[in-house]
Structure 1
C-alpha cells in the first residue's frame, strides 16, 4: 500500500505557501486582477519566493512533482492570478532540454494544446508572457518576446488567455525527442492543473459548508437539511478522491512509472469534474446569493469551469482517458 503522507519538509512548504497566498491572493486582489486575470504584484512575490525556479534541477537532481503539486494546490485554493502551473511546466521542459534550449528572459508559459496552422490557440497566460512554448507540426517551438498575441477583452475567469502566432518561433526539439519531451511536459501540466483544481474544489466547498452552517431557515441551519447536506457530502468525497489521485499521479511521474501518462490524464479529468461539482453544490447552497458578484463562491465556480474547459470537456476527455487506460494496461504487461 502506497503512503502519500507529506513529509515534514512538505508540510512546512504547504504551510508557507498557504500563508503567502492568503496574504497576497485575497478575493479582493483576485477581483481587481480581472478581466485579464494577472496580478503583477503577486507574480513578483512568487519570484522572491523562488518560483518558477523551484522546478529547476538542483545539484543534478530534477525537482519532484510532489512539491510542485503542493504549490499548485495552494495556488488553486486562493485562485492565484499568476501563471504558476504553466511556468513550472515550461521550466521543467527547458530543464530537460538542457543546453539545447535557448536562453530566456521574462515570463515563459506553456501551451497544452497543439498549434493549428501555425497558431497556438487558447494559451493560458499568453497575454502576459514574453515566450510561449508550444507543439507545432512535430516540433517543440518557443516564440520570442515580440510574438503576436490575439486576446479577448474578457474571459470566463481570467487566465490571460490568448492565441499566439508562432511565425519565426525558435525550434527547441524535433522528431522522436520532441515527441517524448512534449509528452512529459503535457503529463506535468495535467498533474499540476489537477492539483490546482483539487485546491479550487476544496476551498469552494468550504465556502458552501460555512454558509450552510451560518444561514438559518425554519429555525435551524440550512446544513441540517438532508437534501443539502448529502450534496455537500458527496462533493467532499469527490474532492478527497481527486486529491489522492493527484498524489498518485505525481508519485508515478517522480518514479518514472509507465502509468504516469494515464494517471495524469485521469487525475486532470477527475479533478476537473470534482471541482465543478463541488463549486456548483456550494454555489447552490448560497441560493440566489451564489449568483451575485459580491459572494466569493462565484469566483471559484468560474475558475473551476474555465480550467475544465481548458483541459477539455465531455466526449473528447473520455477518449483521452480511454487511451490512457489502454496505455496503462500495456505498460503492466
Structure 2
C-alpha cells in the first residue's frame, strides 16, 4: 500500500512550508489576533499569486484545477503555521460553487475567488450550534423574483471582512438551499465575537435582506453531503498540521529544558507523553488522508471515512495539545510561549463541523446500531 505523496504533491507541500515559515511566523499570528481584520491583505495577495485561492477551481474559471486531496495537503501546512484569516471558509464556498452552482454563478464568482479579489464565507450555524440540517431554522420567504431572509447566524468565520456570505436557509418549497448575499447588503449587521482562539467568528443578523433568485444555490442531498465532507476534511487537515507542529515544539523543549540536573525529556513521564503525541499525530494524518482521498475521488465510503476522521482528529489533537501544555508546565499557559497558540486554535477546529461525539454518533448511525 503506497501512502506516499506524488512528486507534484511533495513540491506543493514543501514550497508551502517554506513560504509560510517566511511569511507567517509566530509574530504575524500574534499580530493578527489583535488586528481588526484578523488577516493580512498583503499575505492574501501573495497567496493569490501562488495560485492557492484557486487551487481546486477548474482552469476555465481561472484556477489551477488541482484535486481536493491536493487542497488538503496545502491546508495541513496552514495548520502547522496557524495561518489566520478566511482561507478555509473561502475554499468551502468555492467547493460549493464547483459542486452545485449554475454555469452563470460559476462564471460570476469563481474567477474572483481564484484571483483573490473576493472573499466568501459560509453562514450555517444558529443558536443551537449544530452543523446539520436539523440545526437550521432560518426560513426564506419569496417576494416575486427575490427571496427575503430574516434571522441570526452565529460563529460565522470572518464575516466582517468577507465580500459574500453563503447563507443556508429553508426555501418555501421545503428545500435547504444556500443564498449568496453581499456583506454590504441592506439589512445585515455583523458583530465580531470574543473567542478562545482569538479568531474572527461573527454573529450576523439578517433583517429583510433581499436575495435575487439567480444567487440561490440548490443541491441534492448527495451533493450536500459531499460538500460537508469536504469542509470537515479541511478542518481535519488543519488539525493534523497543528498537532504535528505542537508535537515538534514540545519535544524540542523537552530536550532543552533542564531540571534536577538533566533534560526533562530524560524522565519517563515526559517520554511517554511524547510517545503518545507522535502516535496520535500519525494516526490523525493517515485517517485524514484516507477520508480526503475518498472524498476527492467521490467514493461511496466518504461519509463514513470523513466521520471517523473528524472524530479521531478532534479528540487526538486535543490530547496532543494537552500533553504539549503539560510538558511545558505552567509557562505553557502564558502568552509569552508559542505553545498556547496551538492549544487555543485546536479548540476552534475541534468544534467546527462537529466534534468527536457528534461524528461518533454519525458512525454509529451508518453502522445501523
* TM-score normalised over the length of structure 2: 0.81
> 1:244/1:26 Cα in 2 relative to 1: closer, same or farther (>3 Å)?
same
- Pick which of 76-85 and 261-270 moved more: 261-270
Equivalent residue, structure 1, for 2:55: 54
- How far does residue 314 in structure 1 lie from its aligned partner after superposition? 5.6
Task: Name the residue aligned to 2:103.
Answer: 99
C-alpha separation in 1, matches of 2:79 and 2:366: 25
1:6 aligns to what SS in structure 2?
coil
Paired residue secondary structure (2:192): coil
User: Quick one: distance in 2 between partners of 1:143 and 1:67?
Assistant: 29
In the superposition, relative to structure 1, how do residues 316 and 252 fare at CA in structure 2: closer, same or farther (>3 Å)? Answer: closer
1:178–1:130 CA distance, 2 compared to 1 (3 A): farther
After superposition, what is the alpha-carbon deviation per residue over 1:155-186, rounded to whole angstroms, capped at 9, x for unaligned?
Answer: 21133211234532455233xx3433322221
**Residue in 2 aligned with 1:124?**
157
Which has the larger helix fraction? 1
Residue 221 of structure 1 corresponds to: 263
CA–CA separation in structure 2 for the residues paired with 1:226 and 1:266: 32
Is the counterpart of residue 110 in structure 1 residue 122 in structure 2? yes
Deviation at 1:64, TM superposition (A): 1.1
For 1:192, the equivalent position in structure 2 comes to 234
Alpha-carbon contact 1:65-1:250 (below 8 Å) kept: yes
2:335, 2:191 → 1: CA distance? 24
- 2:333 aligns with 291
User: Is 1:19–2:31 an aligned residue pair?
Assistant: no
Residue equivalent to 2:127: none
Map Cα deviations across residues 171-209 of structure 1 (whole Å, 9 max, x no partner). Answer: 5233xx343332222111111110000100110111111
Structure 1: state its 5+ residue gaps: none
SS of 1:151 mapped into structure 2: strand
Over 3 Å counting, the alpha-carbon distance change for 1:189 and 1:149 in structure 2 is: farther
Give the 5 Å matches for 1:260-279.
260-279=302-321
Task: Please state whether the residue corresponding to 1:135 is helix, strand or coil.
Answer: strand
Structure 1 residues 203-254: Cα deviation after superposition (integer angstroms, max 9, x where no partner): 0111111100000111211111111111121121111111001111111112
Normalised TM-score (structure 1): 0.89
Q: Which 10-residue stretch deviates more, 193-202 or 275-284?
A: 275-284
Alignment of structure 1 residues 26-65 onto 2, 5 Å: 26-35=25-34, 37-58=38-59, 63-65=66-68
1:80 aligns with 2:83: yes
CA distance in 2, matches of 1:119, 1:58: 36
Greater shift after overlay, 32-41 or 90-99?
32-41
The verdict on how the C-alpha distance between 1:325 and 1:250 changes in structure 2, with shifts beyond 3 A counting, is farther
Cα pair 2:253 2:328 within 8 Å, conserved = yes
Higher-Rg structure is 2
Contact 1:110/1:124, CA 8 A, preserved across alignment: yes
Among 151, 163, 166, which residue is 2:191 paired with?
151
Flag the 1:4–1:149 CA change in 2: closer, same or farther, 3 A.
Answer: farther
Within-5 A mapping of 1:208-247? 208-247=250-289
Structure 2 counterpart of 1:313: 355
Aligned length: 324
The 1:68–1:149 alpha-carbon spacing in structure 2 relative to 1, beyond 3 Å, is farther
Higher strand share: 2
Whether the 8 Å CA contact 1:149–1:162 is kept in 2: the answer is no
Distance 1:150 1:244, change over 3 A: same
Is the contact made by 1:202 and 1:275 (CA closer than 8 Å) also made in structure 2? Answer: no
In structure 2, relative to structure 1, the CA distance for the partners of 1:111 and 1:246 (3 Å cut) is farther
Rounded Cα–Cα distance in structure 1 between residues aligned with 2:189 and 2:50: 29
Residue 316 of structure 2 is aligned to residue 259 of structure 1: no
Ranges of 4+ aligned residues in structure 1 off by more than 6 Å: none
